[in-house]
Amino acid sequence: MTDDLDDRTRGGVVTDERDLRAAALADPHRPAYHFTAPAGWLNDPNGAGQRGGEYHLFYQYNPYAAEHRLIHWGHAVSTDLVRWEDRPIALTPSEGPDAEGCWSGVLVDDGGRPVIMYSGHAEGRQTACLAYGDETLTSWTKEAGNPVIEPPADIDLTAFRDHCVWREGGRWRQLIGSGIRGEGGTAFLYESDDLLSWRPLGSLVVGDAAALPSADPAWTGTMWECVDFFRLHPDGITGPPDGASDDPHVLLFSAWDNGRTMHPLAAIGAYDGRSFEISRCQRLDLGGRHAYAPQSFADESGRRILWSWMQESRSVDAQREAGWSGAMALPRTLTLDASGVLRQAPVEELSMARGAKLDWAGETDRFTSSGDQIEFAIDADIPIGSGVEIGMLATADGEERTCLRVSRAVSGELSAVLDRSRSSLDDHVDRSDHVGAVPSDGDVVRIRGFVDRSSVEVFVDGIALTTRVYPTRADARIVSAAAQGRSAISTIAGWALDGQEAPVRAMGTAPLRREEHVG
Ligand code: DQQ
């Protein structure tokens, strides 16, 4: 098992498209109502946005094998964020600065013309590249002058890639994720009149990699991947960064260290047009790397919507054999509460995917039901010294069981623990715990959960915890909720979620010769 980016670029397995798709569909761990690539490899969400009512989701995609190499941009569209339709591959590596991969980036609108700013990957380094789209965002032409930005030569960098681009003060602004060796992660700020020629404005902010031990779940890492910067007011108003505004700004980044994808963090603070003063930094997801490389956008209704990549927790070999790897976490709305805490909720459109209501057996302090593609919503009163325990994907004898415990310590602090120690009889999957504090006020705690085979996402008072589990037994389907101590479950509801993947999906593979995608 590894989460090492370098490991993700090794290998060379080439599988026939039909075999890959058939293997993916046959895998009992493949989520069905979460967005996945038709088969092969998926990682970061890219170019997330909405145009003319249609949501676009691009993603890091290897259509040839379930491994991180020769990355393309996959593309899908939706009018409701629930039902997705595949579109042709948007970007394919070609001779030049993206010969070995079209890495992460964003979609912007240049006076009506769709433009992608992405990281070309070649010869072990990344540079900023542009591609221009037609009106439907289906076909893309790369800028002849790529790359348009090279890493600064006079700074000792740990890495340099990924983009956040916006309009500010009548010009284009851009952040590129990076890290300064010996200091910490950073985001370099640039300015442009035409998207082609960029003036460096220095670091927006520099992290302190020595401030916390590297094992700390809030460690900011030695490089920041996938920087995402926006304005978000507690009244719900959101938009691109604006140095002239007093509104709180949020910088999302994924802490990275020497090939290891660590976890996404959210820094909240003030932006003056040149620099960002962080007032607090929060873990964006208590499941860490399982909600990695988040990218957000403001949709046409004004919501700030977040996508992120649910990494796997099984071995690289198991991923290759499964014929697919990686899914998107559910799209979520992001809000900032009055005390400055960032909270998440699955978009309300997901209720469209609800099927039959779950029947719950039991009463008062213990309920059970069943399903491996379900949603549940539980409100519980959790006083000091008490808790609730929610079992998922469990067998009747408890041999396999994933368990969420939400409890309130004598200090009054609420915490969530996702115990994966018995989540699978397979010794090769990661079964470590996820633990974190849940800022909350009041005794009543709202817990929402989404189980989609190997995917588990819970929201405890809007604090997200995303993870992956791989039960081996077909009867690992029981879901339960139990009140402990003086806790009381006041409401409990659940639904089967109908998501079923269409059997035919285009992989988008061109008939590459074997030697073109091996090596
Ligand atoms: N994934 C992309 C990079 C990014 C990383 C490559 C984050 O652009 O830094 O697939 O997972």
* Gap from CA of 319 to ligand 1 centroid (Å): 18
pLDDT given for residue 476 in this prediction:
98
CA–CA separation, 87 and 75 (whole Å): 5
Does ligand 1 have an atom closer than 6 angstroms to the CB of 43?
Answer: yes
Q: In which element (H, E) is residue 49 found? A: strand 40-51
CB of 104 sitting under 6 A from ligand 1: yes
Ligand 1 centroid to residue 387 C-alpha, Å? 38
pTM of the predicted structure, to 2 decimals: 0.95
Ligand 1 atom at minimum distance from 68 CA:
10
Q: Is there a domain that residue 188 lies in?
A: no
Cα(45) to centroid of ligand 1, in Å? 10
Q: Tell me, using a 6 A CB cutoff, whether residue 119 lines ligand 1.
A: yes
Q: Is 98 in the pocket of ligand 1 (CB under 6 A)?
A: no
Alpha carbon of 43 to ligand 1 centroid (Å): 8
The residues facing 224 across adjacent strands are 255
Q: Mean of the per-residue pLDDT values for the chain?
A: 94
Contact of 461 with 379, CB cutoff 8 Å: no
Distance 222 CA to ligand 1 centre (A): 15
Question: Which domain range does residue 473 map to?
Answer: 352-497
The greatest distance separating any two alpha carbons of the chain, rounded to the nearest whole angstrom, comes to 67
Of all residues in the chain, what percent carry a pLDDT higher than 90?
Answer: 91
Number of domains in the chain: 1
Ligand 1 pocket, 268 CB below 6 A? no
Ligand 1 and 313: CB distance under 6 A: no
What does the pLDDT average to over 122-144?
97
Model confidence at 368, in pLDDT bands (50, 70, 90)?
very high
Residue 217 domain flag: no
Extract the tokens encoding 112.
Answer: 């009506």
Any idea how long the chain is? Answer: 519
Task: Please give the distance, rounded to the nearest whole angstrom, from the Cα atom of residue 272 to the centre of ligand 1.
Answer: 28
Distance CA 353, CA 112 (A): 33
**Ligand 1 center to residue 161 CA distance, Å?**
8
> What is the model's pLDDT at position 45?
99
Q: Is 102 in the pocket of ligand 1 (CB under 6 A)?
A: no
Domain of 392, CATH number, reads 2.60.120.560
The answer to the question of residue 445 being in a domain is yes
Is residue 393 in a domain? yes
Assign 3-state DSSP to the chain and report helix, strand, coil percentages, each to 5.
5, 50, 40
Query: Is the distance from the beta carbon of residue 62 to the nearest atom of ligand 1 less than 6 Å?
Result: no
Answer yes or no: are the C-beta atoms of 370 and 479 closer than 8 Å. Answer: yes
Mean pLDDT of the 400-405 span: 98
Is it the case that residue 518 has pLDDT exceeding 50?
A: no
Give the rounded distance of the alpha carbon of 511 from its chain centre.
30
Distance from residue 365's CA to the centre of ligand 1 (Å): 45
In a domain, residue 160? The reply is no
pLDDT value at 196 more than 80 = yes
Q: What is the pLDDT of residues 238-295, one digit of tens each?
A: 999 999 999 999 999 999 999 999 999 999 999 999 999 999 999 999 999 999 999 9
Among 116, 225, 309, residue to substitute to test ligand 1 (most atoms within 8 Å of Cβ): 225
Mean pLDDT for the stretch of residues 186-190? 98
- What is the residue with the minimal CA distance to atom 9 of ligand 1? 225
142 in a structural domain? no
Q: What is the residue with the minimal CA distance to atom 6 of ligand 1?
A: 103
User: Which tokens in the block code for residue 513?
Assistant: 């010769």
Average of per-residue pLDDT across 28-41: 97
Measured in angstroms, how far is the CA atom of residue 261 from the centroid of ligand 1?
Answer: 9
482 domain-assigned: yes
Neighbours of 53 (CB within 10 A): 8
Sheet of 249-257: strand order equals 238-239, 223-232, 249-257, 260-271, 276-283
DSSP secondary structure code for residue 210 in this structure: T
Structure confidence at residue 15 (pLDDT): 57
Ligand 1, pocket-test mutation among 175, 226, 228, most atoms within 8 A of CB: 226
Q: How far is the CA of 104 from the centre of ligand 1 (A)?
A: 6
Give the separation between CA 393 and CA 372, rounded to whole angstroms.
6
Atom of ligand 1 nearest to the CA of 71: 10
CA nearest to 291, candidates 305, 306, 309, 315? 309
> Residue 21 in 3-state DSSP?
helix
Compute the average pLDDT of residues 202-221: 98
Distance CA 192, CA 174 (A): 8
176 lines ligand 1 (CB under 6 A): no
Ligand 1 pocket: which of 42, 162, 263 to mutate (most atoms <8 Å of CB)? 162
Find the 44 Cα to ligand 1 centroid distance in Å.
6
Position 473 in a domain: yes
| pLDDT confidence bin for 506, thresholds 50/70/90 | confident
Q: How many angstroms does the Cα of residue 494 sit away from the middle of ligand 1? A: 35
pLDDT at residue number 511: 52
Residue 510's pLDDT band (cuts 50, 70, 90): low
* Per-residue pLDDT at 519 exceeds 80: no
